[in-house]
Every structure is written in structure tokens, then in C-alpha cells.
A and B are shown apart, each in its own frame.
Chain A
Amino acid sequence: MNRRMLTRLYYSLKKKTKQSLATSSLLFVAGCISASFGSIRLFTALNYGLLNYNGNADALSVTLSDVTMSLLIMLPSLGLFLTAYLLLNSHSLGWKLSCASAIGALFLFSSHIIDSELLLVIGVLSAIATAMEIPRLTSSNKRDSPVITENLGRLGVTLSALICISLLVGLLLYIGIRGEKYLSLSFVAGSWSWRHAQEVLGGALGSIGGISDEIIGSLLLVTVCEAVAVPLGLGAAIYLAEYSSENVITDIVRFFVETLAGVPSIVIGLMGLALFVEQLHWGYSLLGGGISLAFMILPWNIRIAEEAMKAVPQSYREASMALGATQWQTVRMIVLYASSPGILTGILLGLGAALGETAVVLLTGSGWGGTTTLQLSLTHAAIPSLPVWIYMAPTLLLGGGAEGRVAEAYNIMFTGSFVLVVMFLAICIIALIVRNHLTKKITGK
């Protein structure tokens, strides 16, 4: 910072009124308090984490929670600095923000949710600033600078996009970090027994086992599911997009498709439980689970395929008709071909969603027993499935001498989650690649 900058700063401050200088410095002090408080916490947390991590899951969780919390403490300090800046430039939002921070800090202090005297100081400082701003509200000159509003808006949306992206990336990273500990070839390819895993966790030596049966079971379930959902969904989409004009029937069908999309998965699971498990006496089974999953992703397939077909230019159809093709020939050879990128993407995304679905499979396919052996039977045996394995893991692992190894049991559960997430992401990425490749091939661009 050289001398000229200081002079510039001095003159720009000199132009401000004394009052705005006073109120903004109050808020600035409050912001400094909150920021130093937060950064001390952040450093302590990071220090602890660096000293104790070494693959220790508990230390990881502690560090993560402390870092999150200290960032949450530092976020208001950013807001306080912003308020100080706004007050300095007599922007009307500054008054509202300082009012909000006063109320928020005093409320948090009085309700004892966070016990800290600093909250009281921050609250009082912003309350004084708010009170000092009141006379200015009634003055005649209240126009806000549009440049500041513009920058504020930009800052706000950028910040929320940053939060959104970092939350989702952090989610994936966290699963990766916790999942890599037990990840090995034998974990993916071996077979699983809860009893054996309990013993290994409880102190016995040996490999923990593997979840190949669960992976294959899940893949079988989504195969059955797609075998039912794809023909039905595609047929329905062709009917809605090609064979009907907009009339009452299509309206009704669309209404039911949307309603079906809104039905919670657990309700579909219960229907499967009543129909397949109890009334048809199949018990928990591959076919029952697959059909119930198909009911769940049917609307997904219909809507995406219908939209893909509607995006095909009308001239393609007219050209085909003019050459003497029947409607079915037009649909089969022209429309389906031109819309195949969209349709395939829809099918693959539905596949990914079905792969991760737990509630339906729990009630119709796998049951609560923690089934781990794969029996190739459509209707006579419960099918092991990876999401259900993840759901059951903490309950079924922590027994038989392994009660004290909670963090390790969760690590094993996270390894399963990691495998599931990798499968899910692989399907999604394949969907994207297929879409880009086919679009290029069809449009020739």
C-alpha cells in the first residue's frame, strides 16, 4: 500500500458523512470480532486434524465438524464487513442488514443455542449502528447506488453457486476419503457374511469379505426393472408424442404419469409388499423387486422419451410420409432414430436412479434379513442388493464382539457406499458420452 493509495483512501473517506463513518466502523469492529473468533477456531480445528488424522475416522469427523462450524462462524463476519461497506456508502440494504444482525445475534445469545459473550457484543454494536441510522431513513436523499446493488447481486449469486458446487463436490470427496480404507479387490470380488465380518471387526484376523453378490444382485434388479419399464415407457411415449393429438385422453394419461412420478417410493414399495410378497406368496424376490422398481422409474422414462421425440422436427415426419411410409414405419425408422440420444440418456439416468433406490428394494426384493447369498431364482429367493446392504450394515456389523469398533464399521459401510456411488456415476457418465456421441452422429456436427 503506497502513499498515493492512502491519500486516495483519505479523500474518499473524507467525502463520507461523519455519521456513516461512525456506524460503519461499529459494524467493522463487530465483523473483526466475529472473524477473529472464527479464524481461531478454524486454525485450532485444522491443527487438530493435521496432528491426529493418520487415517483415523473419528479425528476426520471431528475436524470436519469443527471446520464446518468455524466457517459458519466466519460467514456472518463477511456479512458484517459487507454491512459496514454498505453503511459507508449509505445504501439502504446496510440498514436492513445491521438490523437483522442485531436481532439475530441477540436472539442467539438469549436462547443459549451458542453460548458466547461475543454474540452479545456483536448484537449490541449492530443495534447501536441501527439506531444511529434511523434519522437518515427519513431524510430526502435515499437513492441507492445502482453499481453497488449490481455488485451485491453478483456477489450473492456467485457465493450461492460456490456453496452449491462445493457442497456437492465435498459430498463426493467425503465418501471417497472414508471409503478408500477397506477398498480392495477382495472387497469388490469376494462374498460377504455378516457373522464373519463381525468376527474380523471384533479382533480376529483375516479379510473382511466382499460384496460381489450384492453388486450382481443390484445389477440383476435394475435389469429386470428396465426390461419391464423400457417397453412400457417407450410405448407410452410414442403414443403420447406421435399417435395422439392433444385431447382429453392424453391429458388424463399425462396427469397419471405426473401423479405416478410424485408417488413416494416407499408407497410403491408397500404396494409391492402387499401384492408380490404377501398375496402372490413370492416372498422377497427378484421379480417382485424389479417390477416395483419399474413402476417407480416408469414416469421418468416416459417423460424423457416423449420430450426427445417432440424435439424431432416435423419436417422429418412429413418427408417420410410423403415417401409413402406408414405412421409406424415413420416412427420406427425416422423418429426413434432421430430421438435416440434423448431416449437412451433417459433410460440410463433411470437406471442410475433405480440402482440407488433402497426403500422399494428393502420392502420387495431384499427384505430385512440382510441376505447375502445370491440365488438365481425369479420368485423364490430374496435378492441381495447393495443399497440395502449399506442400510443394514451398521446394525448388523456391530455385534458379536465388534461393539466398540463403531468408526471401523462405518468405514466399511462407506466403502460399500463408495462402490455404489462409483457405479452410479459411471452410469451417468456413460449416459453423457452416449448422448454426445449419438447427437454428433445423427446431426453430423
Chain B
Amino acid sequence: MSISRKSIISGFTFSNYIGLKSGLALNIKLLKERLIKTILFLCAASSIGVIFFIVFFVVQEGYPQIVGWFARGFGMVWNPGPYGPYGVTPFIFATLYVGLGGALVAAAIGVPCAVYLTEFANTRLRNVVKPALEMLTGFPSVVMGVVGFTVVCFTLQRYFGGTGFCVLAAWIVLGVMSLPTIASVSEDALRAVPQDLKEASLALGATKWQTTLRVLLPEAAPGIVTSFLLALGNATGETMAVIWVVGNVFPAPPITLNPLAPTNVLTALIANRAQGDSTYGSPEWNAIFAAAFVLFVLTAAMNLAVRAVLARRGKDRLSVSLTRRP
């Protein structure tokens, strides 16, 4: 028993597997345990496999254009048709601009909301709001999009003229959409701050607000930054909510900081161009996959940033589910 425990706990080696090192005869029970462990390991490895699948197919379909971009620059205009060139620079810019603004809108409302829920709200309110926020993280994005289309764009059109499709509309829609994520993850982070730190501050005569500002928020900062980065990744990779409100300016969206200008983002570009205009294997098809590769790299970079933030501080403290809404 002790030997089998050891071989299960310590890593996995071939000689352990076939039972040579243990010196035992092939024991059915032991073999079954090891078989189960192998199956479970394969399940765990499946997520690695899925990532490789994704990268493999995206690169396989997109590599001519990826190579082209690195050889001749990323270009400014996405010229539909078989000859290109397929420029993505404005789309990349708009993706980052729209995503960052959306996450900032969500953080501006969501983080104070989390502070309220942890520090000032009574238990009954919190017991209703917290599960509701957790539920709404998976809210159907297409519904978010149609509401944004009929409410936000309509309002903007009435008051600011134009079509109403613009960066600002996308910010608002993405902000409301990321709100539950930011609020609930920040709330978890604030809740994870040890009670004695808070009590020490209050005992020194600090008011509740001073304690919140100078003790709670700095202590929970890694978690709050993580929630922001998760929302940023969410907003950057969002398709269906954005495609309704962003304007889908096609060949060359403007590179502008004006929030009232219509524009187009990578996800909407992919969704719009993949709809049958481009046949399998055509140059534009390759370019669509190359654009997806760019999007993948952007979000992977944000994911690395989350890991870096968590690795620096407070990983053990933040025992929250860091899975974004899929």
C-alpha cells in the first residue's frame, strides 16, 4: 500500500507504471488505479490538445497571409476579392480601443459596486446581488447586442446625429456586458482580504472609508487588476454584442480617437467576411484566419498579463474562480 501510494503521489515514470520498481507482481488493483490515472491525465491534457488544434488550424489556413503581413507590413485597407491586399492595422487599433474603453466603463461602475457589496451593503442585499452577478456573467451576447442596437445606438443617433453606430455605443454595450464579471471577481478579491488587517486599521482610529481606501483596495489590487484584465480579454474577443453597434465600416475603418466615429473590429470583420463570400482556400479565406491568429495572439497576451499580475502577489489569497465567461 505504501509503495502504491508513493508511486501515485510522486510523478509518473514508466518503470513505476508497469510495476517493476515496486517489486510487486502485476497487481490487478494497482493496474486499475494506474490506468485510471492515465485516463485522467489524458483528460487534463485534452485542453492542451484543444489549444494546439486551434493554433494548428488557424495557422494552417492563415499562414500565407501571416507571412505576407510580416514581409510587407500589416497594411491599411482590407480589399475584398482574390488579390488583396488585406490590411488589418485599423482593425487591430479599433479592437484594442473598443476593448479598453469597454473594460474601463465596466471598471468605473463595477469596482465601486464591489466595494459597496463587501463593505457597506447589508447581508440580505448581498445574498441576492452576488449570485445574480455570477449568473449574469454568461448572459447571451447576441441579446446584449440587439438591446444595444435598439437602445444605445438609437439614443446616440437622436442626440449626436449620424447613424448612432460608433465606438461609444460599443463601449457602453461592452461595459454593461463586462459589469458582472468585474463586479463579482473584484468582490471576491475584496472579500479575500484578511479580516485582521481591516480590524487593525479600524482599531488605529481610521474611518471605514479610510480603511477601504488605504488598506482594502491596495490589498485587493492584484485581484481587481485581474478582473479588469479578464474584462479586457472578454471585451476584445466579443463578437455578437459588438457587431450590432460598432458600425462595421468595411474596407478601411478610420484610425481615430473620436468616440463618435463608426469603426470596425477584428471579430466583426471575421464574422462578416466568413459568411460565404470567401470560398475555402481562397486568399481572403487565408486572410480571415490570419486575422483570427492576430486576435488569438492579442488575447493570449492579455492572459499572460493576468498570470504575471497574479504571480507577483496574492495568488494564494485570491481563491476565486478566474474563468472568464466563455
Name A residues whose Cβ lies closer than 8 Å to a Cβ of B: 61-62, 64-66, 68-69, 113-114, 146-147, 149-150, 152-154, 156-161, 163-165, 167-168, 171, 174-175, 178, 231-236, 238-240, 243, 245, 247, 249, 252-253, 255-268, 270-271, 273-275, 278, 295-300, 302-304, 307, 321, 326-328, 349-350, 352-359, 362-363, 368, 387, 390-391, 410, 413-414, 417, 420-421, 424-425, 428-429, 431-432
Contacts and interface: CB of A to CB of B under 8 A. Distances in A.
18 contacts: A159-B112, A160-B113, A161-B121, A233-B43, A235-B42, A249-B11, A257-B47, A262-B233, A262-B324, A270-B58, A271-B58, A298-B50, A303-B322, A358-B142, A359-B267, A390-B143, A421-B143, A428-B138
Given A264-B239, A271-B58, A326-B33, A65 B158 contact: yes
A262 B326 CA distance: 8
Nearest to B56: A271
B185 to A, nearest CB: 13
Contacts of A299: 47, 323, 326
Contacts of A303: 321-323
B43 A69 contact: no
A414 B148 CA distance: 12
Contacts of A159: 112
Nearest to B12: A249
Contacts of A65: 151, 154-155, 158-159
B36 A328 contact: yes
Contacts of A354: 326
B230 to A, nearest CB: 8
A361 to B, nearest CB: 10
Task: Give the 6 A-B residue pairs with the shortest CB-CB distance, closest first.
Answer: A356-B140, A264-B237, A235-B43, A65-B155, A353-B138, A160-B112
B8 A327 contact: yes
A16 to B, nearest CB: 23
B23 interface: no
A303 B325 CA distance: 12
Given A271-B53, A271-B58, A420-B140, A245 B271 contact: no
A274 B326 contact: no
A61 B121 contact: no
Contacts of B145: 391
Interface residues of B, number: 103
Contacts of A273: 274
Nearest to B213: A153
A228 to B, nearest CB: 10
B120 to A, nearest CB: 6
Interface in B1-30: 5, 8-9, 11, 29
Contacts of B256: none
Contacts of B213: 153
Nearest to A296: B326
A259 B303 contact: yes
B70 to A, nearest CB: 20
A68 B289 contact: no
Contacts of A295: 50, 53-54
Interface in B119-138: 119-121, 129, 131-132, 134-136, 138
B43 A236 contact: yes
A386 to B, nearest CB: 9
Interface of B: 5, 8-9, 11, 29, 32-33, 36-37, 39-48, 50-51, 53-54, 57-58, 60-61, 108-110, 112-113, 115-117, 119-121, 129, 131-132, 134-136, 138-147, 150-151, 154-155, 158-160, 176, 179-180, 183, 207-210, 212-213, 233, 236-240, 260, 267, 270-271, 274-276, 280, 288-289, 292, 295-296, 299-300, 302-303, 306-307, 319, 321-326
B303 A270 contact: no
Contacts of A257: 47
A260 B8 contact: no
Given A65-B158, A359-B240, A157 B321 contact: no
B296 to A, nearest CB: 5
B103 to A, nearest CB: 14
Contacts of A307: 319, 321
Contacts of A113: 160, 260
A90 to B, nearest CB: 19
Contacts of A232: 43, 46
B116 A413 contact: no
Contacts of A114: 159
Nearest to B140: A356
Contact of B151 (A61, A261, A270, A278): A61
A382 to B, nearest CB: 13
B29 A165 contact: no
Nearest to B10: A245
B116 A161 contact: yes
Contacts of B61: 270, 274
A353 B326 contact: yes
Given A175-B143, A238-B40, A258-B303, A157 B112 contact: yes
A267 B54 contact: yes
B176 A171 contact: yes
Contacts of A158: 116, 120
B315 to A, nearest CB: 11
B6 to A, nearest CB: 12
B291 to A, nearest CB: 9
Contacts of B110: 164
Contacts of A265: 237, 239, 326
Contacts of A165: 113, 129
A368 B276 contact: yes
Contacts of A353: 138, 325-326
Nearest to A159: B112
Nearest to A157: B116
A48 to B, nearest CB: 13
A236 B151 contact: no
A239 B143 contact: no
A429 B131 CA distance: 10
